[in-house]
Amino acid sequence: MFPIEAFRATLERFTGILRSLRIRHHLTGGIVSVAWGEPRLTQDIDIVIDRVAANASIERLVSEIQSAGYFADEQGIRSAIHNGKPFQLLDEVEILKLDVYPRELIPDELNRSVLTEVFPGFAIPIAARTDAALSKLIWIRRGSQKSRRDLRQIVRRLSSEELAFVRTQALQMELADLLEAVLAESDEIRE
pLDDT in tens, 48-85: 999 999 999 999 999 999 999 999 899 999 999 999 99
**How many separate domains does the chain show?**
2
- Tell me if 109 sits within 8 A of 48, measured CB to CB: yes
CATH number at residue 51: 3.30.460
Greater confidence, 32 or 2? Answer: 32
Q: In what order do the strands lie in the sheet with 25-28?
A: 70-71, 87-91, 96-101, 44-49, 25-28, 122-126, 114-119
Residues 123 and 77 reside in one and the same domain: yes
100 located within any domain: yes
Give the C-alpha separation, 77 to 185, whole Å: 39
Q: Provide the pLDDT for residue 23.
A: 98
Q: State which of 83, 110, 127 marks the end of a domain.
A: 127
Give the residue, 102 or 120, on which the prediction is more confident: 102
| Domain identity same for 11 and 77 | yes
Residue 179 lies in a domain: yes
Domain-ending residue, one of 81, 103, 127: 127
- pLDDT tens for residues 144-175? 988 999 999 999 999 999 999 999 999 999 99
Amino acid of residue 147: S
- 32/96 same-domain check: yes
Instruction: Rounding to the nearest 10 degrees, give the CA dihedral for residues 97, 89, 173, 36.
Output: 40
pLDDT digits (tens, 9 = 90+) for 25-43: 999 988 888 888 877 767 7
Three-state SS at 116:
strand
115 and 161, same domain (yes or no): no
Q: Which domain holds residue 9?
A: 4-127
The total of other beta-carbon atoms located within 10 Å of residue 26's CB is: 26
Is residue 150 domain-shared with residue 62, that is, in the same domain? no
Running DSSP on this structure, what letter comes out for residue 142? Answer: T
**The pLDDT of residue 191:** 53
User: 172 and 108 in one domain?
Assistant: no
What beta strand segments (E) does 50-140 contain? Answer: 70-71, 87-91, 96-101, 114-119, 122-126
> Which residues on neighbouring strands pair with residue 125, listed in sequence order?
115
